[in-house]
Amino acid sequence: MANRIGIHALVWVGGWSEAEARKAISSSAETGYDLIELAALDPGNFDAAMTKRLLTEYNLSAGVSLGLDYETDVSSDDDDIVAAGRARLELALNLVRDIGGDYLGGAIFSRLGRYTKPVTERGRANSVASMAWLADKAANYGVTLGMEFCNRYETNVINTTAQTLDFIADIDRPNVVAHLDTYHMNIEENSWREPVLAAAAAGKLGYVHVGESHRGQLGTGSIGWTEFFGALREVEYDGTITFESFSSEVVHPELSSNLSIWRNLWTDNIELATGARQFIRENYGS
């Protein structure tokens, strides 16, 4: 299979100084990955030129993901907040372009965090319109947008593959795909196989996060890897598969708290990354 195999930057570093970027990019390449996924919650303060230079030096691809916050939530009812969200997303899109990437995903349609009420009709419509607006800009640079549905504690806009496919149909742009994450699927889906088949049948299976049920090392939790990887093979998925894992060992000031990373699930990230790469090879084949 020709999948790109990626790893999330938070396995390596919590910030993105040149020293941190070099450590993350070199370690990703040395442990056998093709791509690093950068967490660009504040895309305006990301050194794109330095990042691109290091990616070239280590022959690595990059994708960009982020979750929005209160001030930039495009699923808000407040037009000023939606406008601030669009401005931040445009910065993120420009970052993807400037590092030579082709993917912008995550909770870009919503704040990443716990809501205490359901999304409103107007909020959902604001999010859909914002994604269509961003997709049209992204198309100019050959960038695909990934809608990563999250579990109910991290967004109220989309929590399942079926909701995500409906949301994407409403956005109605060719360069918008569904981003499936096993960590979130484990909480919200009925099956490992059916969502993969449904997304593929819609022509919208575009990006995959492999994460364990506790966000630690692959194969040490309760994710149904045989069923999930079997479904990816069944639909002949050839897109990116990125390993996501978080531990209190490596802390990003915002993202780690948004994701409720309170426990230390690993300390040695070289061992973690090497083991995860081997797990993917042995259980998936790529």
Nearest Cα residue to 191 out of 224, 213, 239, 154: 224
Nearer to Mn ion, 97 or 209 (CB): 209
Q: How far is the CB of 18 from Mn ion (least distance, A)?
A: 26
Residue numbers at the binding site for Mn ion (CB under 5 A): 181, 209, 244
CB 171 within 8 A of CB 128: yes
Strands 5-8 and 240-243: parallel
CA distance 41 to 9: 12
Q: Whole-number minimum distance, CB 136 to Mn ion, in Å? A: 25
Q: Where are the alpha helices (DSSP H) in 34-78?
A: 48-57
Of 126 and 182, nearer to Mn ion (C-beta) is 182
Taking the complex as a whole, how short is the minimal distance between the CB of residue 115 and Mn ion, in angstroms?
18
Q: Dihedral, CA atoms, 136, 137, 142, 148, nearest 10 degrees?
A: -80
- Residues annotated as part of the active site: 148, 244
Q: Which is nearer to Mn ion, 243 or 284 (CB)?
A: 243
Q: Is the Cβ of residue 51 or residue 245 nearer to Mn ion in the bound state?
A: 245
CB of 159 to Mn ion, least distance (A): 13
| Integer Cα distance of 266 and 42 in angstroms | 26
Residues 239, 228: Cα–Cα separation, whole Å: 15
